[in-house]
Structure 1
């Protein structure tokens, strides 16, 4: 036997359900979602396709499941070589430009004259075998102009006490020279240089003049810049000397000859600034 609801029960239930829904809507307002919060469809899944269909298409295409694809991507990333580490850039300090300063450069030097060959001044036989012009040592005084570039031009006076085999009490060999140096800029305090020059000589007993002649020379050296205004240096030069014939104090006639010397210098020079370019 089928029971029937009492008359009026259905409308009352409908009213009660409507009142309950209205209260629920007032107490909890609908959550407003922004466009960014809305789920987006995967770019490789066509609209209207379900997740299962998309996964099936990936499997059918040989791509595997999403988990397998992620694992394959991680393996591929691990197989790629790591890029080399990037070293921080280090800027080398640029070399400062030269000062381009002009100087007057002057100083003194301890010198040694080593006789290589006295020539006809000291023949190897006969009564003139005793050599009146041997090796010796002395002092040089010089001064000149140092350009802003690599050049030096100046003059020097040098005297040396020579070994005269006791034919002279004090044999003094004097030189007056014009000289130049070429000093390339290599960026260090110690710099090599090339030197050359010409000059004249006189020779005699106790500062006397009994003979004279001319000389040329060329050589190399090293200059050490102790400070901006002082330099130390050493040099070696080859010096052929033309000496005219003369009669010495023992009344021996000495023939005109070309004597050859090697000179060594230990020099100390000072600079005085003239100006800047």
Structure 2
């Protein structure tokens, strides 16, 4: 009688998976070592022990720090404004010229230093330019020759304000105008002036600015007879003006 056949679902010893024999480190294939080196898992020492050609280890890349991106400067607003305001002013006399001789009966100076108020308005372009006009009156020291010596100016002005990206911006100013001078708002003499100076403008908001400025102002004054019946000669008087200004803006449009 023949022996019964083994059940088909039973595995024989030959069919069982065999464990891979231990392979010495030196007998590993170059392909396996290369794969480990490429994966960044092998060291130079291990690669040399594997019997392959010396291959420098690939260093791991340094950790990447999160980049800090600087905020890009926003583009300027190309807006046109009407700009107007007031300023407290001081006129410091550097030299009254022939109006106040340094000797003789006219030694008492009828045109000294003073302070007052300026009112101005103008057009502020989308670029760095401002064009406008100003009316200024100052009460001057007249050595009691006038009860109230009022020095009045009417000027055309310009400013150049470079864009430096800050709320506080320097500017250059210049202009030309005319003057009248007399007792108690009267007109006894007149003349012309030019000026140039520098200043700083602080943008409090888009609609309001504060500023300070300093200008040099030579003034040509025609000769006249004052209230004490003294003849005053035509002269060039020199002043330094200081301003503390507050101005507001009204938007006209955008470009």
Aligned counterpart for 1:158 among listed residues 125, 132, 136: 136
Give the count of matched residue pairs: 255
| TM-score, structure 1 normalization | 0.74
Q: Alpha carbon RMSD of aligned pairs, Å?
A: 6.8
- 1:59 counterpart SS class: helix
Is contact 1:101–1:147 with CA below 8 Å preserved after alignment? yes
| Post-superposition CA distance 1:40-65 (Å, at most 9, x none) | 99999999999999999999999999
Structure 1 pair 200/36, CA: closer, same or farther in 2 (3 Å)?
farther
Structure 1 pair 67/186, CA: closer, same or farther in 2 (3 Å)?
closer
- Separation in 2 of the partners of 1:124 and 1:106? 41
- Separation in 2 of the partners of 1:137 and 1:60? 84
Structure 1 pair 132/34, CA: closer, same or farther in 2 (3 Å)?
farther
- 1:108 counterpart SS class: strand
Q: What are structure 2's unaligned runs of at least 5 residues?
A: none
Q: What are structure 1's unaligned runs of at least 5 residues?
A: 1-22
Structure 1 pair 66/47, CA: closer, same or farther in 2 (3 Å)?
closer
- Separation in 2 of the partners of 1:96 and 1:53? 56
- Separation in 2 of the partners of 1:59 and 1:205? 100
- 2:71 counterpart SS class: coil
| Post-superposition CA distance 1:59-96 (Å, at most 9, x none) | 99999999875569999999987754422233322211
- Separation in 2 of the partners of 1:34 and 1:152? 102
* 1:168-183 alignment runs, 5 A limit: 168-183=146-161
Structure 1 pair 41/95, CA: closer, same or farther in 2 (3 Å)?
farther
- Which structure has the greater CA radius of gyration? 1
Query: Offset of 1:38 from its aligned partner?
Result: 14
- 2:198 counterpart SS class: strand
Decide which structure has greater helix share.
Answer: 1
| TM-score, structure 2 normalization | 0.80
